[in-house]
Amino acid sequence: MVENNDIELSEAEAEQYDRQIRLWGLESQKRLRASKVLIIGIAGLGAEIAKNVILSGVKSVCLLDNEKLKEIDLYSQFLAPPDKIGENRAEASLTRARALNPMVEITSETKSVDDLPDSYFAEYDIVCATGLKQEQLERINNACRDSNKKFLCGDVWGMYGYMFADLVDHEYSEEIVQHKAVKRTAGETEKNAQETVSITVKRRAIYVPLKMRCLWTG
């Protein structure tokens, strides 16, 4: 995720994201507020991802899809209304996507990923791709890594699916519980003379690219 760059939340944003701020803190929400997200493939899975990302309160979301909306899409793609069949799937999803959270800037891109340069993907802080071929995913993942940007991909087929995350070099905090000995009083056992304390520990995770992961599992 990007740095918050001293971004301040407005009163409306603080009220809108109150529950999230209570969950992961103000600084994390500020980092979300500064993030630009690209979502590739606005079919059923892509629409669900877009909904959750938009509601989280990021700075902007771009919906990328070069396919036209089909009748079968309507069974899972809730962002595009039936009267948009035949139109570009990303553009057809804009009105409902924007209505989810007016505080987030939402745009669309109708070109195929094959027609976009690597530099295009580097413009975003996070790229989430669905519905692409293996070679397309690897290319975008490599472009993201070259710019130290986060990359996620996934897909579903009926009851089956997968997801992959490449957060490059990721630092995070983890809360752990420790047992602390206290002075025993008369009649207390050693086990009873303990108290638990929660401390926050910083961790670091180094991720590998999709191509490397496929080589390991293939």
Write a three-state SS string for 154-177: EEEECCEEEEEEECCEEEEEEEEE
Q: Is residue 210 part of a domain?
A: no
In this predicted structure, what is the pLDDT of residue 24? 80
Asked whether residue 188 is domain-assigned, the answer is: no
| Domain-located, residue 45 | yes
127 within some domain: yes
- Indicate which CATH number applies to the domain containing 60: 3.40.50.720
The three state secondary structure string of the chain is CCCCCCCCCCHHHHHHCHHHHHHHCHHHHHHHHCCEEEEECCCHHHHHHHHHHHHHCCCEEEEECCCECCHHHHHCCCCCCHHHCCCEHHHHCHHHHHHHCCCCEEEEECCCHHHCCHHHHCCCCEEEEECCCHHHHHHHHHHHHHCCCEEEEEEEECCEEEEEEECCEEEEEEEEEEEEECCCCCCCCCCCCEEEEEEEEEEEEECCCHHHHHHHHC
208 occurs within a structural domain: no
Asked if residue 90 is part of any domain, the answer here is yes
pLDDT of residue 29: 87
CA dist 136 and 147 (Å) reads 17
Residues with Cβ within 8 Å of residue 12, at least 6 apart in sequence: 103
* pLDDT for res 214: 63
Is 49 a domain residue? yes
The C-alpha atoms of residue 59 and residue 36 are separated, in whole angstroms, by 6
14 falls within a domain? no
Domain count, the chain: 1
The position carrying tokens 């109708």 is 110
Averaged pLDDT, groups of 10, the chain, 218 residues long: 63 83 83 93 96 94 97 94 96 97 96 97 96 96 95 93 92 77 62 71 88 64
pLDDT in tens, 108-132: 999 999 999 999 999 999 999 999 9
Range of the domain at 115: 35-168
Residues 78, 104, 26: CA angle, nearest 5 degrees = 115
The pTM of the full predicted model, rounded to 2 decimals, is 0.82
Q: Residue 46's pLDDT is what?
A: 97
Number of CB atoms found within 10 A of residue 72's CB? 11
